[in-house]
Amino acid sequence: MAQTTPTRAHLDTVERASPLRVLTYAGAIVAFLIGSGFATGQEILQYYASYGYWGVFGTGALVLVLMTYVAVEFFVVGQAQRFEKPSMVFRYYCGKHLGTFFDFFSVLFVFLSFTVMVAGAGAVFEEHYGLSKHVGGIGLAAAVGITVWFGLRSLVDVIGKIGPLIVLIAVGLGVLGIVRNPGGIREGSALLPDLELTQAASNWFMSGLSYVGFCMLWLAAFLTALGRTARSRREAASGGALGGVVFSLACVVVGLGLLANIERVNGTEIPMLVLAGDVSPALAAGISVMILAGIYTTAIPLLWTVSSRFFADRTPRFKGLTLALAAVGTVIGLVLPFSQMVNIVYVVNGYVGILMLVLMLATTGLRLTGRRPLRAPEPAGPGR
């Protein structure tokens, strides 16, 4: 009886997902997304807490659904397609011409996001430590540049383990903010019309779409590249789903903590340090280290994504470009205040990301109806 060679699809079906690898993938997603905006609280303040109840729960529910979908989709497509270059994912969803636009636009946006990380590190050093923001910005860029020098494999090992710890600490701080002022959530919502808060959009729904939009442009190439390392579709989907859910729920908890203390955090560059400082100076000192770690874990894949778009990982040209980009990003990131950098870079690019989200949903719909396979048919071998 003739034996047939198992296809990749068959192997995907029979392989089990490694719990450790699923956790590592989820940790990498969470660590990538926490960055300076989440870890400092500035991002959550502008996208969630500034809209009150609807901002926290409405935006939270919208982000939970869409972010989980996006993470799973990028991971699964990356595992199935195994693109030669991660940036090819844009052509997969958007076609040749529009895909090329998104490819280059995302490179610019990801680089600008790296400059936001530099601004965030500078703000921590200036607002908490009383030092020049240049010390924090230059220090972060140097540390990230050296880490990216060693390539993507080391990135996953580093950020996949640090990310979950940082999220746990951030969520714990959000819970403390709620517990210490339980009536503050209701009071904060009532006070919002009288406060001059910086918001990401005109309403909570558009804020949620914009939030997912800019996160997508971050995640596209990075998760597609990670998807290639997944041993099965189930492993890829599980890692993406867990990462998306954990991050989305963390945003809701932190948003509630900030809303409960909205008067205290309004107008500050680092809202999370305000919550920590209300408990004790020692806690604030520890949280400042956590924030810097969160910025570091996000800045690494951002810088890697830009460099890898032009040169292969860990080649001499890749390393040279990485150091050059780190230097240029430092100069740009130290020009504007951190809160302005978040509002300009993230919000503008978030709206562009919404267009890609629509195209992704359309592609998924075609796949589900059988009009577009997840992967190209495999060539028939001998005896088949």
Cα dihedral 186, 188, 194, 197 sign:
negative
Other C-beta atoms closer than 10 Å to the C-beta of 90 total 25
Other C-beta atoms closer than 10 Å to the C-beta of 64 total 19
Range of the domain at 195: 19-359
332 in any annotated domain: yes
pLDDT at 128: 87
* CB-count burial class (<10 Å; 0-12, 13-18, 19+) for 354: middle
Q: pLDDT per position in the chain (384 positions), as tens?
A: 444 444 554 444 445 678 888 888 888 888 778 776 787 889 999 999 999 999 999 999 999 999 999 999 999 998 888 888 878 899 999 988 999 999 889 889 889 999 999 999 999 999 889 999 999 999 999 999 988 887 655 555 555 566 677 788 888 889 988 998 888 889 988 999 888 888 989 899 999 999 999 898 878 888 898 888 888 888 888 999 999 999 999 999 999 999 999 988 998 888 988 888 888 899 899 889 888 888 887 888 889 888 988 888 788 999 999 999 999 999 999 998 888 898 888 888 899 999 999 999 999 998 888 777 776 444 444 443
* Close Cβ partners of 328 (under 8 Å, ≥ 6 residues apart): none
**Helix/strand/coil percentages in the chain, nearest 5:** 80, 0, 20
The CATH number of whichever domain residue 266 belongs to comes to 1.20.1740.10
228 in any annotated domain: yes
pLDDT at 156: 57
9 in any annotated domain: no
Model pTM score: 0.82
Angle, helices 19-40 vs 152-180, to 10°: value is 60
Token pair for 100: 């090329």
pLDDT at 5: 47
Q: How long a stretch of residues is the chain?
A: 384
The DSSP 8-state label assigned to residue 344 in this structure reads I
115 in any annotated domain: yes
pLDDT at 83: 85
311 in any annotated domain: yes
pLDDT at 257: 93
Cα dihedral 327, 44, 39, 197 sign:
positive
378 in any annotated domain: no
Q: How many domains does one find in the chain?
A: 1
pLDDT at 213: 92
91 in any annotated domain: yes
Token pair for 136: 């924090």
380 in any annotated domain: no
Q: Where are the beta strands (DSSP E) in the chain?
A: none
